[in-house]
Chain A
Amino acid sequence: MTTSVLICDDSSLARKQMARSLPSDWDVDVSFAENGLLGLKALKEGKGEILFLDLNMPEMDGYEVLNAIRENELSTLVVVVSGDIQPEAYQRVISMGALDFVKKPVDARQIQDIFHKYGIYAKPTIDNPVKSREADFEVKYEDGYQEIANVAMGRAADLLARLLNVFVILPIPNVNMFENSELRMALRDIADNDSVSGVCQGFIGSGIAGEALLIFNDSSFEDIAELIKYDGKIDDSVQLELLMDISSILIGACLKGIADQLDVNFSQGHPVVIDRHVKVNDLLNQNVSQWKQTLAIEIAYKIENKRINCELLLLFTEDSIPSLNQRISYIVD
């Protein structure tokens, strides 16, 4: 009997990775949905006896889909596949009726384990692993970047969540090519604005180079100080301590997440604090002729019920793009 499987994820790379992780000798009919809304529609059409569901999606996210499934009493087995690996995310989806939770990036072994655990599909012996199913659609590089950023930011958020004991609300990463002038404008905003602080840190390895830039809203400091149980006056030096602690975690974990997925190793430079005393434009001006464009991945973190906002910008140099694309194509194909 053919089983209908629905893969609901906004990233084409993630959809492809998921489809390829399904056992190839399994009699299934696989459909795809690019966001929660389309996923729900497909479910209602009976296309998903089993649903592999991403959490961070535009239009309607995974949590909303889980809610809608309950409200509409749709019968489907839901396996959440997410880069958001905070313990709280796991508990939330299980309490909302998901069968299980798989960390991104998925591989065939994880999926087989789940199938075996719930008796969905008999697991072949280890000596005779099944061949992965081919999903033949194109994955755009931007989608590849986005999905890699998605997994990496999930790991960083997990560390932050564990350190501060909070739930971090994860956004959908934005991938863009920035013109030199656009970046300059964005940086000038930070430098001119007294109410934000920033840290930038360079990284390099395997033909890939860039800088991570963490931009922090100063109003966040009070809430962070409260979370780490720092009592005392929050002056400039305390802000700097907090800024360095948070940036070590977010930048470090995110870069490590990216490096692991691309199978490279990055050296990290020492972080530099951007404040009113550092003229960001001067830093950039000296670099004018060297590059025109930069690949930017923007991740805006928020913490639930707190006024904590910070934005992580990962900027890759133009000449890193061929290496990046090559590494991504290894993952895709």
Chain B
Amino acid sequence: MIQHLDVGLIVLDKEYKVNVWNSFMENHSGYTPNDVIGKNLFEVFKNIPESWFKRKSESVFLLNNRAFTTWEQRPYLFKFKNYRPITGSAAFMYQDITLIPLTSVDGTVNHIGVIIYDVTDIAVNKLGLKVANEELGILSRTDMLTKLYNRGYWEERLLHEFSLHKRNKQAVSLVMFDIDHFKKVNDTYGHQAGDEVIRVTSKLLIDCKRETDIAGRYGGEEFAVILLDSTAQNALLFTERLRKRIEESRVSVGSDSIKFTVSLGISDLTEKTQDYEEWLKQSDMALYRAKESGRNQSVIYDVNLNGAIK
């Protein structure tokens, strides 16, 4: 009966010599009891991580206490074929291992039992779930049209950078910008043309920004970028570069070639800024001033703007 249990059973003595080797072990490994009994486990199976396995076993001998290892620590102890070699997706058998102390009559532990469970299905499912969750995580942060961060996630990052600045005082700037007369593009050429303008703008934004800058789609035609390690003057170089690239670009719709521009507002984070909402508001004010002053330009926030805009 025990021979036919569909789990691996091995009994080892203190020298790691095999005393018991059941049919599961025989069938999966190809070694018969005759081949292995009385031999040192590590001499027969050279691929077993010897020091790791000994460390686990020695605590079982010493403390007279069971030990467990999961496939997440090591996918397998013995490299066996997947039990479903034809339809299964895993190349090998994932294994959970239990080590149990076998107490002799005088109460000492001279042998341990090793039980090997096939957990391939569980492992494959869990690994699949992990990949799916990671993809979900990316999806939940991404704006589908532009592939930029969506507003929710971008604001989380803004709050994070704001808090970080309170500690490290590194220069950091915030740029808000939007597409000039976007409604007119939509009304004249249709929503698909509008979407294409937004897509092209996002593409140019990604081209112009550095890897570390955090760009998001803030609203319909409104974008926001956090520029790390940048003063407002550094940010101005970036916004002017972006502004010119956008001004030079064209979006083709049928026979029409659409020209469009953006207005940009910049504010750097200072000691006086109370919270991240205030920081946002300052960039917004600068953006508003850029619009008022004739669009297609960058404006840096300063305190005098506060009075100018009601």
**Residue B146 lies at the interface, judged by CB distance under 8 Å to chain A:** no
Q: Main SS of the interface on chain A?
A: helix
Q: Is A273 in contact with B63, judged by CB distance below 8 angstroms?
A: no
**Residue A290 lies at the interface, judged by CB distance under 8 Å to chain B:** no
Q: Is A245 in contact with B65, judged by CB distance below 8 angstroms?
A: no
Stretch with Cβ within 8 A of B (4 or more), from A32-40, A70-78, A248-256: A248-256
Q: Is A249 in contact with B59, judged by CB distance below 8 angstroms?
A: yes
Instruction: Choose among A163, A244, A253 the residue that contacts B70 (Cβ–Cβ < 8 A).
Output: A244
Closest to A278 in B: B126
**Residue B293 lies at the interface, judged by CB distance under 8 Å to chain A:** no
A201 CA / B65 CA spacing, docked (Å): 15
Q: Is B63 in contact with A249, judged by CB distance below 8 angstroms?
A: yes
B residues within 8 A CB of A247? 68
Interface residues of A in 162-192 (CB under 8 A from B): 162-163
Interface residues of A in 191-213 (CB under 8 A from B): 201
Q: Is B65 in contact with A256, judged by CB distance below 8 angstroms?
A: yes
A residues within 8 A CB of B302? none
A270 and B117 in contact (CB under 8 A), knowing A241-B73, A244-B69? yes
A270 CA / B71 CA spacing, docked (Å): 11
Q: Main SS of the interface on chain B?
A: mixed
Count chain B residues whose beta carbon lies closer than 8 angstroms to a beta carbon of A.
19
Q: Is B72 in contact with A253, judged by CB distance below 8 angstroms?
A: no
A248 CA / B133 CA spacing, docked (Å): 29
Closest to B63 in A: A159
A268 and B65 in contact (CB under 8 A), knowing A240-B72, A277-B130, A277-B133? no
Q: Is A271 in contact with B66, judged by CB distance below 8 angstroms?
A: no
Query: A222 to nearest B CB, angstroms?
Result: 19
A159 CA / B67 CA spacing, docked (Å): 13
**Residue B129 lies at the interface, judged by CB distance under 8 Å to chain A:** yes
A247 CA / B126 CA spacing, docked (Å): 22
A residues within 8 A CB of B69? 244
A-B contact pairs, 7 of them (CB 8 A): A241-B73, A245-B67, A248-B66, A248-B68, A249-B59, A271-B70, A273-B70
Chain A residues close to B by CB (< 8 Å):
159, 162-163, 201, 237, 240-241, 244-245, 247-249, 252-253, 256, 268, 270-273, 277
Q: A244-B70, A249-B63 are in contact. List 11 more A-B contacts (CB 8 A).
A: A201-B68, A244-B67, A244-B68, A244-B69, A247-B68, A249-B65, A252-B66, A270-B96, A270-B117, A277-B129, A277-B133
Query: 9 smallest A-B Cβ distances: which pairs?
Result: A248-B67, A252-B65, A159-B63, A252-B66, A271-B68, A270-B96, A277-B130, A248-B68, A240-B73
